[in-house]
Amino acid sequence: GQQLNQSPQSMFIQEGEDVSMNCTSSSIFNTWLWYKQDPGEGPVLLIALYKAGELTSNGRLTAQFGITRKDSFLNISASIPSDVGIYFCAGGRRNEKLTFGTGTRLTIIP
Partner 1 sequence: GAVVSQHPSWVICKSGTSVKIECRSLDFQATTMFWYRQFPKQSLMLMATSNEGSKATYEQGVEKDKFLINHASLTLSTLTVTSAHPEDSSFYICSALRGGPSSNQPQHFGDGTRLSIL
Q: Could you list the residues that contact partner 1 (CB under 8 A)? A: 1, 3, 30-31, 33, 35, 40-45, 48, 50, 88, 90, 92, 94-95, 97-98, 100-103, 105
Which residue, 30 or 62, has its beta carbon nearer to partner 1?
30
Residue 9 CB, shortest distance to partner 1, in Å, is 10
Residue 83 CB, shortest distance to partner 1, in Å, is 19
Which residue, 14 or 95, has its beta carbon nearer to partner 1?
95
Residue 60 CB, shortest distance to partner 1, in Å, is 20
3-state DSSP assignment of residue 7: strand
Give the H or E element holding residue 106: strand 104-109
Which residue, 15 or 38, has its beta carbon nearer to partner 1?
38
Give the H or E element holding residue 75: strand 71-76
Q: How far, in Å, are 29, 57, 79, 96 from residue 16 at the CA level?
A: 33, 18, 5, 38
Which residue, 9 or 15, has its beta carbon nearer to partner 1?
9
Q: Which amino acid is at 6?
A: Q
Torsion of CA 76, 82, 87, 93, to 10 degrees: -80
Residue 19 CB, shortest distance to partner 1, in Å, is 19
